[in-house]
Amino acid sequence: MKKLFTCITLLFCLLAVPALAENYPYQNNVLWVTTPNHADWLYKTGEKATVTVAVYEYGILQDGLQVSYSIGQDELDPDTKGTVTLKGGKAEIALGTMKNPGFRDCQMSVKLKGRTFNHHIKVGFSPEKLEPYTQIPKDFKEFWKTALDGQAKCPMNPEVKYVSEFSSDKVECYLVKLQCYKPGQFIYGYLTKPKKAGKYPVVVCPPGAGVKHMDPTKTMFYAESGCIRFDMEIHGIDPSLSAEVYKDITRAFGDHHPNGYLANGINDRDTYYMKKVYLACVRAVDYLCSLPEWDGKNVIAQGGSQGGALSLIVTALDPRITLCVANHPALADMAAYAEKGRSGGYPHFNRKYEGIELTPEVIKTLSYYDVVNFARCIKVPVFMTWGYNDNVCPPTTSYSVYNVLSCPKEALLTPVNEHWVSTETRYDQLDWIKKHLK
């Protein structure tokens, strides 16, 4: 873990409920400054943490305001509540400590001119010692080998269409349709590659969670930098459909409800929706390795959130993968909420996901799909990054994934980040890839 971002959080606050609060809203009048008494935001178990709080409006330090706070373990209910008054523009809040490794989250709010502004900050206690709740089934590898052998019998049948609107004088873009899992099951993706003839490394990029409209221009810099990239659509829905159509589909299948795809078939490992998704990632690698422009050596998996999880998963499943880059992986230690006092990962079954309980059947299924069990099997270099303030894919589960990796690994820790990475970090990840090419 070589890099660590700022030790002082200069964080904005969003006028919203705490669950929707974002530390960096665009052009807000109110600025929070929260400073833990440990510069790296990390403590040993048993050590007591405090944070100094200041609030500014239009850059002017506010005095006399009352700050309400609640403190609890990462993604669990608060165990401490109180208020402090800003004196001389500042106040100190005691965050307490933890006996076991993990994170504590301090949620804060202040009323200013009749409006409520929210903010939060998380600090860690010996997180390098975090161990996942999820255990690996004895037949984990056999289960996935059987699934992969079955898919290998299913022809890929690629359909490729040139997309002029996303192409340029430097990059060619294609819409690709692939058959995977079994006949009649498809995925799509946008393939971007350098227009100049040559041999190039290939990058498979699974998507974040949801059913979303795709914009390949956001990652065009990979092709402009000499990589062939495949941005995946995993649901078999043509990404050239309008954004409005995608919104309708999302409302039906993408949200956190029993009809959502992340819960579809979850009571059985063979019927779970994500089986097709995981195999689809391998099928995308099949396609990339069939391209005559592939350099024959380098296959990289890269993604964030659900895409970060799927990048780690396909790296474990496919020996052709040579490097993996993952941001704040989802689908990590998903069953941990089954144990009292344990923090779990996205999609937060038993906690935030409507109508899905962690029954023994569900826990068994999830053990075959949890990213921590795939991370245990990875052998090639991995670069991971995550933020402490992330409430979607909490730092507790990102550490649980990173800690079980026994391969060469590097981590970029960005405590201030919620569920995002900066543009600079995205380019840094590409630089890391380039440095590790064969």
Supply the residues annotated as catalytic. 305, 390, 419
**Inter-residue contact 430 to 221 (CB < 8 Å):** yes
H helices of 92-139, in order, are: none
- Which residues are paired to 300 by β-bridges? 203, 323
H/E stretch holding 43 reads: strand 42-43
* Closest by CA position to 377, among listed 436, 321, 331: 321
CB 278 within 8 A of CB 369: yes
Per the CB < 8 A criterion, the answer to whether 281 and 313 are in contact is yes
Structure tokens at 283: 């099928």
Q: Coil, strand, or helix at residue 31? A: strand
Spatial neighbors of 114 by CB under 8 A, at least 6 apart, are: none
Query: Cβ contacts of residue 435 below 8 Å, gap of 6+?
Result: none
Helix axes 306-317, 274-290, angle to 10 degrees: 70
Name the nearest CA neighbour of 305 among 330, 278, 331.
Answer: 330
* φ, ψ of residue 31 in degrees (nearest 5): -125, 125
For residues 159 and 180, the answer to whether their CB atoms sit within 8 Å is no
Of 126, 24, 74, nearest in space to 332 by CA: 74
For residues 335 and 218, give the distance between their C-alpha atoms in angstroms, rounded to a whole number.
Answer: 33
Residue 414's closest CA among 405, 406, 425? 425
* Closest among 303, 323, 316 to 206, alpha carbons compared: 303
